[in-house]
A and B are shown apart, each in its own frame.
Chain A
Amino acid sequence: MSEHYVILLVLVPLLASPLCIFSRNARAAWGFAVLACLTSLYLVFQVWAEVMATGPITYHIGDWAPPVGIEYRVDAVNAWVLLIVAVIGSVVAPYARVSVEREVEAGRIPLFYAAFLLCFTGLLGITVTGDVFNVFVFLEVSSLSAYGLIALGQDRRALTSAFRYLIMGSVGATFIVIGIGLMYVMTGSLNMADLAQLLPQVWDTRTIKVAYGFLAVGVFLKLALFPLHLWLPNAYTFAPSAVTAFIAATATKVAVYMLLRFFFTVFGAPFSFDVMRLDMVLLPLALVAIVTMSLVAIFQVNVKRLLAYSSVAQIGYMILGISFASVTGLTAALLHLFNHALMKGALFMCMGCVMYRIGSVHIDAMAGLGKRMPLTMAAFVVAGLSLVGVPLTVGFISKWYLILGALERGWWPVAILVLITSLMALVYVWRVVEVAYFQEFPHDEDTQEAPWALLIPMWALVLANVWFGIDARTTVASAEQAAQTLMGGAP
């Protein structure tokens, strides 16, 4: 049985998705979603534990041997990303019930959970597969359902944001499939491990270099690397709160994983960094993203949009870590993948609570909320400090490895820039804190703390921020092992 866990973790949410539609009942659909997410989490955890203990697992779909059949392959890298996606899904799903009832039309709620589970399936599928075309298939599954989820937002602008995301996302996906096609033309294979063997023979052809270019731009679009991030702020701002929390914590992370998988495993670090000089592309883009997007975030008045811009900056940190092309840099990137999911998940869930009670996430509307919703705002403070990178939170651990990586390369101006941008994060987090704690509450007297159904999942993430900030041994060990796997080349 346990050898089928790898496929089951994708199948369970996939099959639960139509159940949500057939049930036609909001509660039942929610029940299916939570159950499916938790089952996946259990399976992912088992797989992760096995990979950490005994090394990579492979699974042949329908027993067709690779490279012809589709192979699922889990090593330290994707086990780690699977864990991130499954954990966030399992925290957001229970949170969604109350939040979605408030923010989504009642008749569409079963559809919401169906789309949610499809998105979850897609993200897990991209991560678990060892076949490049399968990556594309799951990418479309997750993207299409994500467009639908975003379009369910209350604000009419949700529709235009979803449409814009659809256009940009489809361009990205098309670029990726062109890249995959060119690789197939040159090698006749779609299996990642096989490609890794075959590609070095055709490294110097223009076709492969072009394929590399198409893949790079497609993935950059998907992970919202500056300046291809334009779809992200509106999509995050107008989507329902639960969707924002889920997508912000997982979708871009999986896109970063795709980048790592394509450029480190399939093409290999030597080709990426010695031939294509990927680091020379990533480094400036990451630095510009970090600086400009942090600056833009400071001037936002909609807190969800503020956090969205901060996300683009934080993705910059991950890309920065990758651009160091060293084990420490990759460790930093992979740690931040997990840590940023924890902090942004928690922060967007805070915004969900605020939305639930006062119906707005405009910064002025949050005046005095520190007294009215003490638990929600305390969560915002802790998760916000984690975003800044204060010691004893996970944000600090990521920053530590990132700066260590920069100093190892001798790039001390980069290290200083990372520290200065942390201060910029402090400024935008502090703006919200000041409004919430130092201003008087203007709303009706009866505004209360958010319901427990929202508070418990949110605080679970907030405490995880602190827990893995005080004892980061597990996370650092996993990220380090994953980084070594990536630098080692083919799996």
Chain B
Amino acid sequence: MTPPALVLASLLIPALGTVFVLLLRKNPNAREAASLVTAGVLFGTVLRVYRAVMAGDRPAIVLAEPIPGIPIELEAEPLGVLFALIASFLWIVTTLYAIGYMRGHHEENQTRFYTFFAFAIASVMGVAFAGNLFTLFIFYEVLSLSTFPLVTHAGTEAAKRAGRIYLGVLFSTSIVFQLLAIIWTYAIAGTLDFTSGGILSGRAAAGVVPILLGLFVFGVGKAAVMPFHRWLPAAMVAPTPVSALLHAVAVVKAGVFSILKITVYIFGIDFLTQVGASVWLMWVAAATIILGSLVAFTKDNLKARLAYSTVSQLSYIVLGAMLANASGIIGGGMHIAMHAFGKITLFFCAGAIMVVAHKTEISQLKGLGRTMPVTFFAFFIGTLSIVGLPPAGGSWSKWFLGMGALEAGQVGLVAVLMLSSLLSLAYLMEIPLKGFFYAPDEAPHHEGVHEAPTPSLIAIVATAVACLILFVFPEPFYELMTLVVTP
């Protein structure tokens, strides 16, 4: 296949996957095999796109032209490839995990679950490879819609309420702010194509740029910048594989990815620095980082704590984008990868604890590490990566973000980064500590509790090991990101 066909294929493969899942609904084993094979083939396809892009190619393909001059266009460029690589690889792992989880938890409507899961991945690929803002917006909305049945999967009153918040926040921000910003951009620049160096430089008045950028940052509700973060904790009613892949990786990263992409290819980092338009948003991101961490402290529910940790961590990437210099962008891009692997590990562990030991609150975890040592050790490694400590991959992205803050002359932001690392160390480390070093409360402790089902355990170990590997081997992501900032 030619590179443009490969880009198209990475959309079509998961879409076709939904068909196979539906056809094989009578036979769960074959159905799950179909999901796994689809995920594997997709990753292989994205790898080939990656090779083409590293060779300097920018494969593009136009699908339709709804409005004259504004096509629906796919184009693979380094940042999108980075996102697509992570999402497609983690889809394999998550499918593996989901097999153990969904069966162990006796969830209903599993076919619907796998169908919409594959469909959500197809829209994630669309977001990753969008060639212009319009295409990005379309797949962004499709992603919101396709994840809605996953969030409300349980069908309970609480799930429905959460679903309403989920769609409500994501739709209202994207329609009122993002769409306005997109049409405004079109009115100013006459184009919506992602172009290196941006399309607004020399066209937009200096006074307009900070407002426009603000509309984008708040309009991309999936980036969960406060005060538009409420949908993310609400989405935690979903089954854990959804929280893991979609609400720690695919959906939220689609948000921060969009902000990075808009910063680099619509505004252009030189133009932003020159106008100084992003300074106020740096502090909005910084506030979200700190406040998210503080709220995480107050949560005893494990998934809720992880959700607020994600809110806080996402703003690292927003901050990286708003720093608008090479180190900031590289740091932001690498944090997409590093946080993805770290946070998915944490969610996998939380899900395993829920399925096996039926514990959802942190205060119930005392001593559980002795019966589930692999899970809790994996949680420990994930924590290291989120906090940004060696020997885990997270240290690199924090390093570059810190550099970026210094280069931008914002010493205060370096302090914010430090403080937030300390906070996250405190609220995350509590869990493995409780697990390993506290005596269990109840006397006949955890009768019959053992490690997670084998497929899930494999997934947990795989992502935890990946966190460590990324410390010694971060080059692929680093190289992709240098391509982004040095066109």
Residues of A whose CB lies within 8 Å of any CB of B are 389-392, 396-397, 400, 403-404, 407-408, 412, 415-416, 419-420, 422-423, 426, 434, 438, 469-473, 476-477
Contacts of A426 in B (CB 8 A): 171, 175
- Contact between B68 and A423 (Cβ–Cβ < 8 Å)? no
Q: Given that A416-B176, A422-B175, A426-B171 are known contacts, is A392 also in contact with B66, CB under 8 Å in the complex?
A: yes
Q: Does B267 contact A (CB under 8 A)?
A: no
Please indicate which of the listed interface residues B134, B180, B184 has the most CB atoms of chain A within 10 Å of its own CB: B180
Q: What secondary structure prevails in chain B residues at the interface with A?
A: helix
Distance to closest chain B CB from A465 (angstroms): 13
- Contact between B180 and A476 (Cβ–Cβ < 8 Å)? no
Contacts of B67 in A (CB 8 A): 397, 400, 472, 476
Residue of B nearest to A401 (CB): B67
Contacts of A400 in B (CB 8 A): 67, 183
Residue of A nearest to B179 (CB): A419
- Contact between B68 and A419 (Cβ–Cβ < 8 Å)? no
- Contact between B171 and A415 (Cβ–Cβ < 8 Å)? no
Other-chain contact of A473, B65, B134, B137, B141 (Cβ < 8 Å): B65
Contacts of B134 in A (CB 8 A): 391
Contact flags B36-66 to A (C-beta < 8 A → 1, else 0):
0000000000000000000000000000111
Docked complex Cα distance between A472 and B175 (Å): 20
Top 4 closest A-B pairs, CB basis?
A391-B138, A407-B187, A419-B176, A403-B183
Contacts of A469 in B (CB 8 A): 66
Other-chain contact of A404, B68, B141, B183 (Cβ < 8 Å): B183
Docked complex Cα distance between A274 and B172 (Å): 37
Docked complex Cα distance between A419 and B173 (Å): 10
Distance to closest chain A CB from B291 (angstroms): 26
12 contacts between A and B (CB under 8 A): A391-B138, A392-B66, A397-B66, A397-B67, A403-B179, A403-B183, A415-B184, A423-B171, A426-B175, A471-B65, A471-B66, A477-B68
Q: Does B160 contact A (CB under 8 A)?
A: yes
Distance to closest chain B CB from A74 (angstroms): 24
Contacts of A476 in B (CB 8 A): 67-68
**Which B residues, 437 to 456, have Cβ-Cβ distances below 8 Å to chain A?**
none
Q: Does B427 contact A (CB under 8 A)?
A: no
Q: Does B228 contact A (CB under 8 A)?
A: no
Distance to closest chain B CB from A404 (angstroms): 6
Contact flags B375-419 to A (C-beta < 8 A → 1, else 0):
000000000000000000000000000000000000000000000
Q: Given that A391-B138, A472-B66, A477-B68 are known contacts, is A404 also in contact with B180, CB under 8 Å in the complex?
A: no
Docked complex Cα distance between A476 and B70 (Å): 12
Docked complex Cα distance between A416 and B183 (Å): 11
Distance to closest chain B CB from A400 (angstroms): 6
Docked complex Cα distance between A359 and B436 (Å): 64
- Contact between A404 and B137 (Cβ–Cβ < 8 Å)? no
Q: Given that A423-B171, A426-B171 are known contacts, is A416 also in contact with B180, CB under 8 Å in the complex?
A: yes
Residue of A nearest to B149 (CB): A437
Q: Given that A391-B141, A471-B66 are known contacts, is A419 also in contact with B187, CB under 8 Å in the complex?
A: no
Contacts of A389 in B (CB 8 A): 175
Q: Interface extent on B, as a size class?
A: 20 to 34
Docked complex Cα distance between A472 and B66 (Å): 5
- Contact between B64 and A423 (Cβ–Cβ < 8 Å)? no
Residue of B nearest to A417 (CB): B176
- Contact between B175 and A415 (Cβ–Cβ < 8 Å)? no
Contacts of B64 in A (CB 8 A): 470-471
Docked complex Cα distance between A129 and B148 (Å): 50
Docked complex Cα distance between A419 and B171 (Å): 11
Docked complex Cα distance between A420 and B176 (Å): 6
Q: Does B471 contact A (CB under 8 A)?
A: no
- Contact between B186 and A404 (Cβ–Cβ < 8 Å)? yes
Docked complex Cα distance between A397 and B64 (Å): 14
Docked complex Cα distance between A478 and B335 (Å): 48
Docked complex Cα distance between A354 and B176 (Å): 33
- Contact between A423 and B66 (Cβ–Cβ < 8 Å)? no
Docked complex Cα distance between A408 and B186 (Å): 11
Other-chain contact of A423, B138, B175, B183, B187 (Cβ < 8 Å): B175
Q: Given that A390-B141, A404-B186, A408-B187 are known contacts, is A419 also in contact with B66, CB under 8 Å in the complex?
A: no
Residue of A nearest to B152 (CB): A438
- Contact between A423 and B176 (Cβ–Cβ < 8 Å)? yes
- Contact between A419 and B138 (Cβ–Cβ < 8 Å)? no
Distance to closest chain A CB from B113 (angstroms): 17
- Contact between B175 and A419 (Cβ–Cβ < 8 Å)? yes
Other-chain contact of B138, A392, A416, A471, A473 (Cβ < 8 Å): A392
Residue of A nearest to B138 (CB): A391
Contacts of A416 in B (CB 8 A): 176, 180
- Contact between B66 and A438 (Cβ–Cβ < 8 Å)? no
Distance to closest chain A CB from B231 (angstroms): 15
Docked complex Cα distance between A476 and B160 (Å): 39
Please indicate which of the listed interface residues A389, A392, A397, A420 has the most CB atoms of chain B within 10 Å of its own CB: A392
Residue of A nearest to B141 (CB): A391
Contacts of B72 in A (CB 8 A): 470
**Which B residues, 67 to 82, have Cβ-Cβ distances below 8 Å to chain A?**
67-68, 72
- Contact between B137 and A391 (Cβ–Cβ < 8 Å)? yes
Contacts of A420 in B (CB 8 A): 176
- Contact between B65 and A419 (Cβ–Cβ < 8 Å)? no
Q: Given that A407-B187, A438-B160 are known contacts, is A470 also in contact with B66, CB under 8 Å in the complex?
A: yes
- Contact between A423 and B186 (Cβ–Cβ < 8 Å)? no
Docked complex Cα distance between A423 and B173 (Å): 10
